[in-house]
Each structure stands twice: as structure tokens, then as C-alpha cells.
């Protein structure tokens, strides 16, 4: 799963580099795979809990995700709901039943307002239909994509209950919710490019 998310985040970063005036060297921040943790603080009269986005990098050395005025375009990806699977005859090969998985992901995008309101629309339109990921028969983004422009609510949900001043805030924040469907390669049939076919069984009859 991390391979799918990392490949998608790389594709988004490359799209921004190719299709905007943003310099890739210093003005794009790709946080990659992120999850929300809860931080509890105790006041004099109450206890409050707020979400804290934390990077996932396979180690215990994790970073708290935040907006940073040194950048113009910041984004990250979260896994937001249970993954589901179904058996699908179209994905079967020989005696192997194909199991197709559906992975719901959220791309959180923040960019400086001077980049314009159309940037998010162009990004959604430019998302790849398919991803090439090692270990998978196929990976594709379904056509059902939703974009939420509620900057204030997204800020509180994805970055915590800090002070948000709408008219002094120079970031546009969006969430893009997408479903990624994929079929994994059977053991021993994966390559760096994805699926390969094993014709050993057929060769026995030549």
C-alpha cells in the first residue's frame, strides 16, 4: 500500500513541476504518506483533543506535518476509510481467482492564493488514470473523485484546532478524495514494471 501512495505522490509532484510556474527546487513540499494522530492537552477546566498529522516513513523518526511559508505548494496523502476487496472474474488468471482491492485515499493540497483558483481543477484533471507499481497487476484511479474547497473546515480537520483567520490566511486548502483499485501480483510474478506472466505450465505440453 505504501508503494501505491508513494507512486501517486511522486506523480502529483511531477505534475506540479510540469504544469505550473512553481520552482521544484525550493517551493514544493511533498509530505507523502501521512496519518492523523490525536494530541490531548489538559487545561485548568477541560481536556481537549486535536488531530495532529504525522508523516509515515517506516521509522520511529516521524515529522509533524505543517504549512510552511517557505513553500508555495504543499500536499500529503492519507488513507481515510477501510479498504475493501471483492473476487472479480475479469481479474482472474487460469486457476487463480482475482481479488480486487479498493483503497480510499485523501490528497490534502495547500497552495498560496496567488497561484490562482484554477490550479486545483487543473490538478484533478491531470491526475493519472493508472499507476505502475512493483508487485501489482494493475493500479488505477476510479473516475469517482470529489474535491472539497471548505478551507476552514479542512484546516481544522487536517491540521488541528488552531486559530484560523479567514481573511488573513494566504493559503487555499483542498481535499481530493479518490478510490484506488488494484490487484496484487501472485508471489514470484512481480517485476519492477508490475505483472509478468508465467508460461511454465504451457511449456510442459509443447
Residue 200 pLDDT grade (very low, low, confident, very high; cuts 50, 70, 90): very low
Which pLDDT score, from 0 to 100, does residue 165 have?
Answer: 54
* 44 occurs within a structural domain: no
Mean pLDDT of 112-124: 92
Q: Which has the higher per-residue pLDDT, 204 or 6?
A: 6
Domain-embedded: residue 195? yes
Q: Is 73 helix (H, G, I), strand (E, B) or coil?
A: strand
Q: Are 53 and 158 in contact (CB under 8 A)?
A: yes
Of 23, 31, 99, nearest to 65 by C-alpha is 31
Classify residue 124: in a domain, yes or no: yes
Is 107 a domain residue?
Answer: yes
The mean pLDDT value for 67-93 works out to 84
Q: List, for residues 34-50, the tens digit of each pLDDT value.
A: 999 887 766 666 666 77
Predicted local confidence at residue 62, as pLDDT? 87
Whole-model pTM: value is: 0.81
Question: Of 89-98, 129-138, 196-205, which one has max mean pLDDT?
Answer: 129-138
Q: Which of 21, 59, 49, 83 is nearest to 160 (CA)?
A: 49
Q: If pLDDT is split at 50, 70 and 90, which confidence band does 138 have?
A: confident
Q: Does any domain span residue 43?
A: no
Q: pLDDT at residue 67 above 70?
A: yes
Domain assignment present for 14: yes
Question: How far is residue 147 from each of residues 2, 44, 173, measured CA to CA in Å?
Answer: 23, 39, 11
The overall average pLDDT reported for the chain is 81
Q: Is the model more confident about 166 or about 132?
A: 132
**Cell numbers representing residue 126 in the block:** 491531470
In this prediction, residues 15-31 reach a mean pLDDT of 82
**Per residue in 150-194, pLDDT tens?**
988 898 889 876 555 555 678 999 999 999 998 887 655 554 454
Structurally, how many domains does the chain consist of? 1
Instruction: Look at residue 42 and tell me if it is in a domain.
Output: no
The domain containing residue 13 runs over which residues?
A: 2-36+49-203
What pLDDT score was predicted for residue 195? Answer: 43
Q: Taking residues 61-87, what's their average pLDDT?
A: 90
User: Is position 41 within any domain?
Assistant: no
Are the C-beta atoms of 42 and 20 separated by less than 8 Å? no
Least confident of 5-19, 36-50, 62-76, 130-144: 36-50
Q: Residue holding cell 494566504? A: 170
Amino acid at each position: 500500500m505504501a508503494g501505491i501512495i508513494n507512486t501517486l505522490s511522486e506523480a502529483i509532484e511531477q505534475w506540479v513541476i510540469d504544469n505550473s510556474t512553481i520552482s521544484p527546487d525550493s517551493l514544493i513540499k511533498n509530505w507523502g504518506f501521512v496519518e492523523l494522530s490525536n494530541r490531548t492537552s489538559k487545561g485548568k477546566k477541560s481536556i481537549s483533543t486535536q488531530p495532529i498529522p504525522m508523516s509515515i516513513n517506516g521509522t520511529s523518526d516521524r515529522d509533524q506535518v505543517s504549512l510552511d511559508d517557505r513553500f508555495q505548494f504543499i500536499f500529503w496523502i492519507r488513507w481515510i476509510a477501510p479498504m475493501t476487496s471483492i473476487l472479480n472474474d475479469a481479474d482472474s488468471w487460469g486457476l487463480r481467482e482475482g481479488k480486487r482491492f479498493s483503497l480510499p485515499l485523501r490528497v490534502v493540497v495547500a497552495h498560496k492564493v496567488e497561484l490562482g483558483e484554477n490550479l486545483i481543477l487543473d490538478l484533478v484533471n491531470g491526475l493519472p488514470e493508472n499507476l505502475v507499481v512493483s508487485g501489482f497487476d494493475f493500479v488505477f484511479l476510479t473516475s469517482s473523485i470529489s474535491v472539497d474547497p471548505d478551507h476552514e473546515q479542512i484546516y481544522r480537520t487536517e491540521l488541528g484546532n488552531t486559530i484560523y483567520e479567514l481573511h488573513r490566511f494566504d493559503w487555499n486548502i483542498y481535499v481530493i478524495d479518490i478510490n484506488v483499485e488494484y490487484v496484487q501480483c501472485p508471489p514470484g510474478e512481480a517485476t519492477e514494471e508490475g505483472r509478468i506472466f508465467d508460461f511454465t505450465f504451457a511449456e510442459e505440453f509443447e
